[in-house]
Amino acid sequence: MSYIWYPSREMVEESNVQQLLNRLKMRDYRDFIKRSVEDIGWFWSFIEKELNVEWFKPYSKVYDTSRGVEWTEWYIGGEINVVHNILDRHASSKNRNNLAFTWVGEDGSVSHYTYLRLFRESNRLANFLKGIGVSKGDVVAAYLPMLPETIVTLMATLKIG
């Protein structure tokens, strides 16, 4: 008995990854990986555009290793709001009722969160946290199991800053 699953050819051809490779005229993912390693600037510039990242202030350079690779700076001069890109822009668009994530518990229970639901619940928690004195720059620690509320908590704390 084999415990290795292989997707059908049809599934591979219809996958987002294969469609991306086709658009880039690459034979397979190995070509993509090779180019991403050999041309880091191309890769990270391409990815942020592919993901349609919205910048509040555009960057002037993808990366800078002048202080050493261990001190690489990314998207020089750019300003971004991660919660806006991950959640808020979707919750206030025609995508508001699209699925943001699905959680499946160990007991088989399932919970679906749309962008709008996640937006509302994270705003509610962010407002509560602000009400008890949490503000931008504070450190918030939470030891949480992998539950939908963990994602809500992450988004809420990111919203506060």
Residue 10, pLDDT score: 96
Domain that holds residue 129: 84-160
CB 161 within 8 A of CB 137: yes
pLDDT higher than 80, residue 72: yes
Q: Is 43 inside a domain boundary? A: no
Q: Is 3 inside a domain boundary? A: no
Number of folded domains that form the chain: 1
Q: Is 46 inside a domain boundary? A: no
Q: Is 96 inside a domain boundary? A: yes
Q: Is 128 inside a domain boundary? A: yes
Enter the tokens of residue 58: 């555009």
Q: Is 146 inside a domain boundary? A: yes
Q: Is 126 inside a domain boundary? A: yes
Tell me: the pLDDT tens digits for 105-160? 999 999 999 999 999 999 999 999 999 999 999 999 999 999 999 999 999 999 99
3-state SS assignment for residue 133: coil
> Mean pLDDT in the chain?
96
The answer to pTM > 0.75 is: yes
CB 55 within 8 A of CB 79: yes
Length of the chain: 161
pLDDT higher than 80, residue 2: no
